[in-house]
Chains A and B, each alone.
Chain A
């Protein structure tokens, strides 16, 4: 082969985006179908043929009507759902390009521990652990801070999210929906993940809390993080995302 001939940039290579920025995620022809064995094996297609890229440092919003499969796409990236077909190429910091749809489970766990975070719509956490400890845990374990430093950092985040100090030691199961969700977000941003997946994180928050959360996301991005999210409020999406990918549209 003549080395002088320049190859066309390969669209499926997440490491070389046209703009020169790294392609953090490159989703190619992702499809997910649920097969319900209890209902005679009926198949429910959730998404089909989804393809899009996310550049490093970008904030990409997923849009589309309810039931279009936005959440399914996010959960496939996080591997909570198994993709039926297609590729989810992720440019990991240590191992280069990896296909999250097929990566061995221990490697997925390692990425979740060190790089990829997920914020669900509701707080789903360990019972009988106080709010401050919940937020401090990932700081301690993932960032390696000692217990007092992690507790201080957790307190700072919870203060900013206006969780009253008297609730720091209480179990979030007893909190209001909005308080629970603020703890959820504090826990997710506390360890500064490299890629953060957001599944309607602000749905149960009041306006003031939404502003704080928007600030926290902006701080993560200044640290170099990439975010992909679903927001029920189109104006909010417009304001915080660099661009929007529509899910569920033909092509």
Chain B
């Protein structure tokens, strides 16, 4: 009796929790509401199955609990029933899979008008590189990384000279334009993740990964690292600001290009913030020390 009741309560409680939970996804800021819809479909199908199975179980426990003189039925199998259940399950699974694959193909096929933006992860900060006037990113290699060239841009590549380098600072993106995020890392695995954009992808040292999205509303969004990358992992935050076109252009104008950064006369007048980031991760290291000193 009590057991059946508890099983029912588990179902009712779970459903109520789902409906009343204040913990729900953040308001979306990208075109990936398809993903949210797929999750909703999945919630419906799985929720119904969960409730059905557990309630059926509760009924069995209540109805067929042991009482003096009871005897179980003898039923080795029931082919018809089993086939039906298999078919219904297969249909349910297909209903989950098909929309999922459909959205996935959108996710992996980048529209041709997407602008490329490079994100470079390192322990434990984010840097960015945007194509300059030529609209192309120059090539880069981790073995070129040095204090003067923190992203390892290959100087010999003319495409790279006018690239805008944003080192350990906020990234700005224009609203409503698709962007292809090219993801690189110069040390360990990281994962560029903005909860409001829904998309994420690991960054692997030695290769370039990507995902794309279109920001759909302006605002300031926090970047989190979603792949354990050492002890500074939880502190590896960044900021993406989605701007209107005018604000974006204004911001872009203030940024320095690779050529400007690597020109020797510039180093003397470099602002202290930039000097502070020459040793990558030093800020986090300092932070970690304070954490440990607590």
Q: Do A and B come from one complex?
A: no
- B→A interface (CB under 8 Å): none
Question: Residues of A at under 8 Å CB distance from B?
Answer: none
